[in-house]
Amino acid sequence: MKNSLFLLLQAIESVAEEVEKPQPRRQLADIHYETQRLNTGLMQLLSLFRQQKDELPINKEEHFLDELAEELEASNQFYAAHHGIELTTSVKHDGSWFFDQNLILILVNDVIINALRYAKSKVAVEIGVDTINNELVIEIGDDGSGYPLSMLDASRTSPQAMELDSGRTGLGLYFAKLIAQAHQVEDRNGSIFLSNDSALGGSLFTLRLP
């Protein structure tokens, strides 16, 4: 299923390049968006299954932050461009960090996809390092209407206490908290934080990894 969805995403992008009229291109972008969500959901379910079996591997390797930013922008620019959303990525700190690239890409791409869906015109991704606490910080902000109160409340609970049948506050948020916490260095774990304090005026998602 994963391979089929990946090939489908590539095919959509290829067909879109041959289409000249804006309306069909926008529809293809919507299909691309829903296919990305299917792919993300599939990877989340696979990861949760492995976690329940106590077999969720965290393969931390060194990755350059500028390359991470480039990959995030490339993965989401198709939808953004065809919906008039300005997607920007910036790296506030040169260098690299150790994390599980596959899991972090799934996590952050899911956040960006949702930000693009609810933004009015802008989504900004910022990657930096908190040198005081020695943590990688990834922030995704938008100019939409912000997170609903139910989602803000759910983000403050532990994964074990979350309700997975609560719609937008369910699987994606549970997965984000699970993967963040699985990135552990000595007695410190990764974390996520949701607020409506984005510099763009909407929601702000913050991922911190030690």
**Distance in angstroms (rounded) separating the CA atoms of residues 105 and 138:** 11
Average pLDDT, the chain: 85
Per the structure block, which two tokens stand in for 108? 């952050």
pLDDT for 106? 87
Q: Where are the domains of the chain?
A: 61-209
Domain 61-209 superfamily per CATH? Histidine kinase-like ATPase, C-terminal domain (3.30.565.10)
Rounded percentage of the chain residues whose pLDDT exceeds 90: 45
- Report whether pLDDT(163) > 60: no
A 10 A CB-CB count for 201 gives 16
91 versus 78: the higher-pLDDT residue is 91
- Report whether pLDDT(202) > 80: yes
pLDDT for 170? 64
| Beta-ladder partners of 99 | 61
